Amino acid sequence: MSLSKNTLWNIAGNAVPLAIGAVTIPLLIHRLGIERFGILTLLWTIIGYFSLFDFGIGRAITQQVASHIAEKRHENIPSTIKAGLEFTILTGLLGTVVLLLAAHPLSYRGLSISPELHREVFISLIIAAIGIPFATFSSGQRGALEGYENFQASNLARMFLGISIFLFPFIAFVLHGPSLVFITLWLVGARIISCLLLAWLVGRLPSGKFWRAEITPGTRKRLFSFGAWMAVTNLVSPLLVNADRFVVSYLMGAAVVAYYTVPLEFLVRLLILPGALGASLLPKLTRDNTSDARMAEKTFWTSVKIVAVVMSVLCVLVSISAYPLMKVFISEDFARQSWLLCVILSGGILANSVAYIPYTALHAMGYAKPTGVLHMVELFFYLPVLFFLVNSFGLTGAAIAWTARTTCDALALFVLYQRKRMRYVLS
């Protein structure tokens, strides 16, 4: 399947859930109230973060499967998939243990929520922990599908999960009232169903019954050498992306988090374009780096130009329409509190969009360490700056910190790409 078709499937996998979210989020805000909805956004974040406990193996499976196909070593693919998926089960169980241990301090002290919600949030986090192994296993299965460039199947499962993340909380509210416990149960149920769907789709791949394959020597080492640094990125990057909302909750209270997270959640959904293109690029650039280095370089810069132009237009349109849209769909007070945040965060979204391309290109060349080191360095500088700006300027300070970080990240990734590209070509 072509790069453009793969990208369109990736866009659909994210855009369809966004359309559902555009309808259900305003309804949830009105029915749950600002504080409960703010906590729901934190639950979404926590569940999404712990799904990254696959320690980079999902992306490593994609890179390795695509490499085996390019080099016509198809006999190594079942072993690669089996080794990777076994690891995602173990890391998912580790994630469950971590969240179980963190549930009490988070719910009773860490999130600055109203006392009457402490127990409800605590139980919700316990339930969320159960879904982590299903999330990590799903990540590995998507990696196998995308290594074969089977983005149609991968995105059918992604669409179901994305739709359910927005739709199931509303169904839970209708059936059970404003209970975060039942909402979390429905969200975990969605994870389980999505995992089963992916298992059926992976079972139809040419790799056949990979569970019966013997893991060949060196397979785990190749996966883990790539995945270890991807794990650093997967653990640190969500902290960089989501730390702002937790710092806002800690310093200003959960009641105001929604004013910040609602515009950010919708803006982040604009990343479906660069994210879709980046996911399609990984197996393609991996193959082209093996067979046609010039084509790989041409594809890289064409992708950068497309993302930069399209996302610039989208970010300008969002900045202009932020106030009237929030006023109509949520409330005038909400629009007044959030429109400037939306404008500032749009700049960060543009920088983050363009950064997807060098980030993916580095991984296609097998360089996961540079991105891992970069994100650790960013976290070291970002957190104190974030605390200072939120403490000094409130929600506006959080938006400025987030945008400044994504801009620095994008510049650094382009520098890293140019350096590693020269080394890769010469080798």
User: Under DSSP, is residue 334 helix (H, G, I), strand (E, B) or coil?
Assistant: helix
Nearest residue to 338 via CA among 264, 242, 249: 264
Instruction: Give 401 or 48, the one with higher predicted confidence.
Output: 401
User: Under DSSP, is residue 390 helix (H, G, I), strand (E, B) or coil?
Assistant: helix
Counts of helices then strands in the chain (DSSP H, E): 15, 0
CA 131, 273, 141, 193 torsion: positive or negative?
positive
Q: Does the structure show a pLDDT above 80 at 291? A: no
Q: How far is C-alpha 166 from the chain's CA centre?
A: 16
- The pTM of this model reads 0.68
Q: 280, 10 in Cβ contact below 8 A? A: yes
User: Which pLDDT value is given to residue 426?
Assistant: 55
Instruction: Give 385 or 296, the one with higher predicted confidence.
Output: 385
Q: 249, 34 in Cβ contact below 8 A? A: no
Q: How far is C-alpha 96 from the chain's CA centre?
A: 19
Whole-angstrom CA distances from 49 to 128, 132, 152, 275 are: 11, 10, 25, 17
Q: Does the structure show a pLDDT above 90 at 355? A: yes
Q: Per this entry, what is the length of the chain? A: 427
Nearest residue to 325 via CA among 344, 343, 345: 343
What confidence category does residue 418 fall into, taking pLDDT thresholds of 50, 70 and 90? confident
Q: Provide the number of structural domains found in the chain.
A: 1
Whole-angstrom Cα distance, residue 310 to residue 53?
32
Task: Express each pLDDT in 370-387 by its tens digit.
Answer: 888 898 899 889 999 999
Whole-angstrom Cα distance, residue 363 to residue 300?
13
The secondary structure of 235-270, three-state, reads HHHHHHHHHHHHHHHHHHCHHHHHHHHHHHHHHHHH
Tokens 């209708």 — which residue? 174
Domain range enclosing 393: 3-426
The tally of CA atoms less than 13 A away on the side-chain side of residue 46 is 31
The secondary structure of 63-95, three-state, reads HHHHHHHHCCCHHHHHHHHHHHHHHHHHHHHHH
| Cβ-based neighbours of 237, under 8 Å, separated by 6 or more | 375
Task: Express each pLDDT in 17-72 by its tens digit.
Answer: 777 777 777 778 877 777 778 778 777 777 666 666 677 788 788 878 887 787 77
